[in-house]
Structure 1
Amino acid sequence: MSKMKVASILFLFSTFVLKFSSMIRDLVIAGLFGDSYQADAYLAAMTIPNAFVLFLLTGMKDAFLPSYYKFNAIGRGEEHLTNIVKGTFWITLGVSILGVLLSGPIIRLFYPNFGEFEHGFAIATATAALYFASLCMVGVNAVYEGYFDAKKKFSFSVFSQTSVVLMTILFAVLFHEQLGIIAIPVGYFVGTIVSLLLKVIYRTPKKFLNWQQKLDIGEVSDFYHIFWPVGLTIAVGQINLMVNTFFAADLGEGVVSNLNYAFRLVNIPQAIFGVTIATIAFPIIAEAHNKKNPALFKRGLEKGYLYLLVFLTPMLAGMWYLMHELVGTVYERGAFSASATSLTTSYAVLYIGSAFFYSIQAVTAKGFYTLEKGHYMMRIGLFSIILNILSNWIFSQFYGAQGIALSASIVALLYCAITFSTLYKEVGGFDVRYLLRNTAQIVLGVAVMMAYLYGFDVMVPGSEDWHRIIRLVVLGISGAIVYFAVMLLFRNEFVKEMLAKGGTPSSR
């Protein structure tokens, strides 16, 4: 088995662990605080600094990887790493201090309704301040995670992120009685420190970076000239989520929380398959571009799209069919009631399109970043933010909270269509026949799976009344078997590759 295939499998497994731990964090929050105003205040407040977190965490990795390859090719990889780490530290330190000082005014400006609750402003302000205070560690962590991705050590990068989530869960469970919901952002702050210490230990303090090296401000400036449009583009999704939260906060207690729970649940397949496949494809297409091999570059993107569709499409379709059971199984306990399950389910089914189209966009984005044309993505992203504001205003007026979830999917569809068509023109087109042939196989496989799920409920009386977990297990596993059986009948190359014992990719 090839080293790349082993790294990919380890990365996929570690991503599963990360998303499983993230799901546990969300269900802990739901179980302890439900859809109360405390949960609303925390979830709404953290979306603002979290836009900066994603700007750094994901954007930095996407910008640093091709930059590192370029400097490493001339023997300056470690020197470049040191420059970007030091430069990022000072930049994020300044943003952290400014964010902490402005947290109170920001919360009062964007969420005036929290003043209706006794501790609403206090919870939201403390949450925002703690997340802003974490940015300094997040920035340095992000550079090293980009470095580990460049070295194809994907699993360690994800493991360090998992440590942040686990620390958040630990603090929520141990200190919620003493600190209330503030225990969660405190745990996140501590987790970012732990994640940074893991990287120091892994590389040893001496090798962590060249402490004596003088900071090359020009090199850092050149890097950030490339990075900031990439980071801003990556943060578009979080900015749009923040816009959604602004509108949701005006719709009453519990709306922000239930929309968030729905989004987080539906986002799991996107994070597992969309982000994972895009991340694995990134070094391949980056190296192809660096070697001036456009055919391999386009083939890497095409396979990235198709691998994504093979796994993501049936999972989202199955989630749509079993959404009520899934929401109830994940969240319904403690402070999270049956009525909250119904509301969250109604939002989650409308978020399905958002997860699907943003996953495709994640692969498209890697193509632009490799070509160092992230400014295209930035322009389209800024347009999507304006579109999202208008769409939220219109749909929330007519459909309330459901309109906000529907708006997210519509905006994602348009964003995905514009970015894909732009990249298509930029690279001179893809192998359309190859893409359509494989996509048709996937669509037929999903159609047969959905027909089976519907037929199962018709042919097995009372199956809809089974216990949620039993129903999820039986229909989930059997549905997946039906789907992959159909794909094998079509001799789909991606399913065959996945099942093959060797690591050699199939030829086209």
Structure 2
Amino acid sequence: MSKLKVASILFLFSTFVLKFSSMIRDLVIAGLFGDSYHADAYLAAMTIPNAFVLFLLTGMKDAFLPSYYKFNAIGRGEEHLTNIVKGTFWITLGVSILGVLLSGPIIRLFYPNFGEFEHGFAIATATAALYFASLCMVGVNAVYEGYFDAKKKFSFSVFSQTSVVLMTILFAILFHKQLGIIAVPVGYFVGTILSLLLKVIYRTPKKFLNWKQKMDIGEVSEFYHIFWPVGLTIAVGQINLMVNTFFAADLGEGVVSNLNYAFRLVNIPQAIFGVTIATIAFPIIAEAHNKKNPALFKRGLEKGYLYLLVFLTPMLAGMWYLMHELVGTVYERGAFTASATDLTTSYAVLYIGSAFFYSIQAVTAKGFYTLEKGHYMMRIGLISIILNILSNWIFSQFYGAQGIALSASIVALLYCGITFTTLYKEVGGFDVRYLLKNSGQIIVGVAVMMAYLYGFDFLVPGSVEWHRIIRLVVLGITGAIVYFAVMLLFRNEFVKEMLAKGGTPSSK
């Protein structure tokens, strides 16, 4: 079995663990605080600094990987790493200080309705300040996670992120009685410190950084000239989520929380398959581009799209069909009531489109970043933000909170369509017959699976009245078996490749 396939499997597993731990964090928050104004204030406030977190965490990795390859090819990889770590530290330190000082005014400006609740402003301000205070650690962590991805050590990069989530969960459980929901951002702050310490221990303090090396300001400036449009593009999704939250906060207590719970649940397949496959494909297409092999570059993108669709499409379709059972099983306990389950379900089914289209866009983005044309993505992303503001205003007027979730899927469709067609023209087109052939197999497989699920409920008496967990397990497992059986009948190359012992990713 190739080293890349082993690394890919480990990365997929570690990403699943990360998303599973993220789901535990969300259900802990839901169980302890439900859809109360405490949860609303925390979730709304954290979206603002979280846009900066994603700007750094994901954007840095996408920009640093091709940059590191370029410098490593001339024997300056470690020197470049030191320059970017030092530069990022000073930049994020400044943003952290500014963010902490401005947290109060920012919250009062964007969320004036929190003043209606006794501790609304206090919770939101403390949350924003703690997340802003974490940015300095997040920035340095992000550079090293990009470095580990460049070395194809995907699993360690994800493990370090998981440590942040686990610390957040631990603090929420242990200190919620003493600190209330503020225990959650405190846990996140401590987790970012722990994640950084893990990297220092892994690399050892001496090898962690060339402490004596003078920072090359010109090199840092050149890197950030490439990075900032990439980071801003990555943050587009979070910015759009922040816009959604602004509108949701005006719709009453519980709307922000239930929309967030719905989004996080539907986002899991995107994070597991969309982000994972895009991350694994990135080094392949980056190396192909550096070797000036356009055919391998395009085939790497095509396979990235198809691997994504093979696994993402049936999972989202199954979630759509079983959404009420899924929401109830995951969240309904403690402070999260049956009425909250009904509301969250109604939002979640409308978020399905956003998870699908943003996953495709994640692969497309890697193509632009490899070509060092992230400014295209940035321009399109800025357009999507404007579209999101308009569509949120229109749909929330007519459909309330459901309109916000629907708006997210519509904007994702437009964003995905524009970015894909732009990349298609930029690379001189893809193998359309190859894409259509495999996509057609996926569509047929999903259609047969959905027919089976409907048929099961029609033919098996009382199946809709089964316990949630039993229904999820039975229909989930048998539905997946039906889907993959159809794909094997088609001799689908991606399913066969994943099942083949000792196989290698067919970028041959």
TM-score, normalising length: structure 2: 1.00
Secondary structure of 2:204's partner?
helix
User: CA 1:374–1:339 in 2, change beyond 3 Å: closer, same or farther?
Assistant: same
Query: C-alpha distance in 2, partners of 1:153/1:504?
Result: 17
* Structure 1 residue ranges (4+ consecutive) displaced by more than 2 angstroms after TM superposition: 503-508
Residue in 2 aligned with 1:309? 309
Query: C-alpha distance in 1, partners of 2:16/2:471?
Result: 22
User: CA 1:53–1:294 in 2, change beyond 3 Å: closer, same or farther?
Assistant: same
Verify the 8 A CA contact 2:34 2:337 in the aligned structure 1: yes
Query: C-alpha distance in 1, partners of 2:456/2:13?
Result: 31
Verify the 8 A CA contact 1:269 1:312 in the aligned structure 2: yes
- Residue 473 of structure 1 and its aligned partner are, at CA, apart by 0.2
- Count of residue pairs brought into register by the alignment: 508
Q: Deviations over 1:128-161 (max 9, x none)?
A: 0000000000000000000000000000000000
- Residue 507 of structure 1 and its aligned partner are, at CA, apart by 7.7
Residue in 2 aligned with 1:192? 192
- Residue 504 of structure 1 and its aligned partner are, at CA, apart by 2.9
Q: Deviations over 1:225-274 (max 9, x none)?
A: 00000000000000000000000000000000000000000000000000
Q: Deviations over 1:389-429 (max 9, x none)?
A: 00000000000000000000000000000000000000000
User: CA 1:458–1:368 in 2, change beyond 3 Å: closer, same or farther?
Assistant: same
- Residue 502 of structure 1 and its aligned partner are, at CA, apart by 1.6
What are the ranges of 5 or more consecutive residues in structure 1 without an aligned counterpart? none
Verify the 8 A CA contact 2:296 2:507 in the aligned structure 1: no
Q: Deviations over 1:82-105 (max 9, x none)?
A: 000000000000000000000000
Query: C-alpha distance in 2, partners of 1:414/1:437?
Result: 24
Query: C-alpha distance in 2, partners of 1:240/1:141?
Result: 24
Verify the 8 A CA contact 1:85 1:140 in the aligned structure 2: yes
Query: C-alpha distance in 1, partners of 2:276/2:449?
Result: 24
Query: C-alpha distance in 1, partners of 2:179/2:13?
Result: 34
Query: C-alpha distance in 1, partners of 2:322/2:164?
Result: 30
- Residue 505 of structure 1 and its aligned partner are, at CA, apart by 3.8
Query: C-alpha distance in 1, partners of 2:47/2:409?
Result: 19
Verify the 8 A CA contact 1:57 1:142 in the aligned structure 2: yes
User: CA 1:195–1:414 in 2, change beyond 3 Å: closer, same or farther?
Assistant: same
Verify the 8 A CA contact 1:457 1:463 in the aligned structure 2: yes
Verify the 8 A CA contact 1:168 1:188 in the aligned structure 2: yes
Q: Deviations over 1:334-369 (max 9, x none)?
A: 000000000000000000000000000000000000
Query: C-alpha distance in 2, partners of 1:282/1:2?
Result: 17
Query: C-alpha distance in 2, partners of 1:502/1:76?
Result: 35
Query: C-alpha distance in 2, partners of 1:77/1:14?
Result: 26
Query: C-alpha distance in 2, partners of 1:79/1:87?
Result: 12
Query: C-alpha distance in 2, partners of 1:452/1:105?
Result: 54
Secondary structure of 1:118's partner?
coil
Verify the 8 A CA contact 2:5 2:505 in the aligned structure 1: no
Residue in 2 aligned with 1:135? 135
Q: Deviations over 1:185-209 (max 9, x none)?
A: 0000000000000000000000001
Residue in 1 aligned with 2:458? 458
Aligned Cα RMSD in Å?
0.6
Verify the 8 A CA contact 1:348 1:405 in the aligned structure 2: yes
Correspondence list, 1:247-266, <5 A: 247-266=247-266
Secondary structure of 2:372's partner?
coil
- Residue 503 of structure 1 and its aligned partner are, at CA, apart by 2.2
Query: C-alpha distance in 1, partners of 2:430/2:16?
Result: 31
Sequence identity, in percent? 95
Query: C-alpha distance in 1, partners of 2:124/2:61?
Result: 29
Residue in 2 aligned with 1:447? 447
Verify the 8 A CA contact 1:352 1:409 in the aligned structure 2: yes
User: CA 1:376–1:117 in 2, change beyond 3 Å: closer, same or farther?
Assistant: same
Secondary structure of 1:134's partner?
helix
TM-score, normalising length: structure 1: 1.00
What are the ranges of 5 or more consecutive residues in structure 2 without an aligned counterpart? none
Verify the 8 A CA contact 1:100 1:128 in the aligned structure 2: yes
Verify the 8 A CA contact 1:493 1:506 in the aligned structure 2: no
